[in-house]
Amino acid sequence: MPSSTCSAIDHGICIGPLTGAVGAEISGVDLRDPIPENVFEVIEQALLNHLVIIFRDQDISPEQQKVFASRFSDLQSHPFVESMNGIPEITEIVKEAWEVENWGGNWHADVTFLPQPSKGAALFAKEVPLQGGDTLFSNMYLAYETLSDGLKHLLDSLNAIHDSGEVGRFSDEFDGMRAKNAERIASVHPVVRIHPRTQKKALFINQEYTTQFEGMTPEESRPLLEYLFQHSVRPEITCRVRWQKNTLVVWDNRVTLHSPISDDFAARFDKTGFRRVMHRATFTGEKTS
């Protein structure tokens, strides 16, 4: 029987929202099997509605993950980190038991320093602890919609610079990941972008990569950016995804932020911590304006 938490049941798929703001768990589908087009349309609409969708108990191979992720979009490799051997569309993200931080850094949207940032991603949990290492997500539609009309009017006219920073930090600090020979990247994007499918406005800045407004110095930009960074991750517009082995999470990178929680306190205090291994398929990018 479908779970009582379902808000909708369509083609046998149960869609259960995580919060009122963002995220939904989807059950009733086996990602190892070919997915009919009408069923995939339900899944894709759930992603548009909830921005983050979670599939539990999916024992899939990297190749099967690639096939499913490619239903949403063509895929691309990470500009600074080597992909899995033989599967360039999948990046293996590893935190060893002695490492403290999870890969990904502060609240961010993926690769916004690229001229065409990724549309989204599908992240699969291969090895996770019984507790810890969760990921937070934030709804950037609501981050924009809950601003005052005056601030919306100001931000609608602004662009911002997104900078990768030193590229070595993406892999040099993680023993299980390999760096590519690449150079630092910076790009300019509108502070408010319009989603091409929903035509809704969303705030498009993030703590990890947005350094300043175009035409302003970093010092001039900092007070407003700091306000927006904090505003964008208020608890009421976020959700927390608790990872379990064989969980797949798909998110819309255009209208969400996410942050992996680095709560391995055993590793932090000189004890053996947990190992965390994730496989990420990244959707290709598109223009932000």
Query: Does the pLDDT of residue 4 top 50, yes or no?
Result: no
**According to the model, what pLDDT value does residue 111 have?**
97
**Closest C-alpha to 281, from 85, 54, 124:** 124
Which stretch of DSSP H or E encloses residue 124? strand 120-127
**According to the model, what pLDDT value does residue 6 have?**
72
Query: What's the pTM value of the predicted model, to 2 decimals?
Result: 0.94
**According to the model, what pLDDT value does residue 105 have?**
77
Q: What's the angle, vertex CA 163, arms to CA 161 and CA 165, rounded to 5?
A: 155
More confident residue, 167 or 249: 249
Q: Is 7 left (phi over 0), alpha (psi -120 to 50) or beta?
A: alpha
3.40.430.10, 3.60.130.10, 2.40.100.10, 3.40.1390.20: which CATH number matches 8-283? 3.60.130.10
**According to the model, what pLDDT value does residue 1 have?**
32
CA distances from 83 to 41, 185, 275 (A): 29, 19, 19
Q: Where are the domains of the chain?
A: 8-283
More confident residue, 3 or 90: 90
What's the one-letter identity of residue 213?
A: F
Give DSSP secondary structure letters for 227-268. Answer: HHHHHTT-GGGEEEEPP-TT-EEEEETTSEEEEE----HHHH
pLDDT tens per residue across span 151-179: 999 999 999 999 999 887 777 778 889 88
* Percentage above 90 pLDDT, the chain: 87
More confident residue, 177 or 3: 177
pLDDT tens per residue across span 11-35: 689 999 999 999 999 999 999 999 9
pLDDT tens per residue across span 123-149: 999 999 999 999 999 999 999 999 999
Total number of residues shown for the chain: 289
pLDDT tens per residue across span 89-127: 999 999 999 999 998 878 999 999 999 999 999 999 999
Query: Does the pLDDT of residue 2 top 60, yes or no?
Result: no
**According to the model, what pLDDT value does residue 8 have?**
63
Average pLDDT over residues 248-253: 98
Active-site residue list:
108, 110, 258, 280
Average pLDDT over residues 217-246: 98
Average pLDDT over residues 47-55: 98
State the burial class of residue 1 (Cβ atoms within 10 Å of its Cβ: 0-12, 13-18, 19+). exposed
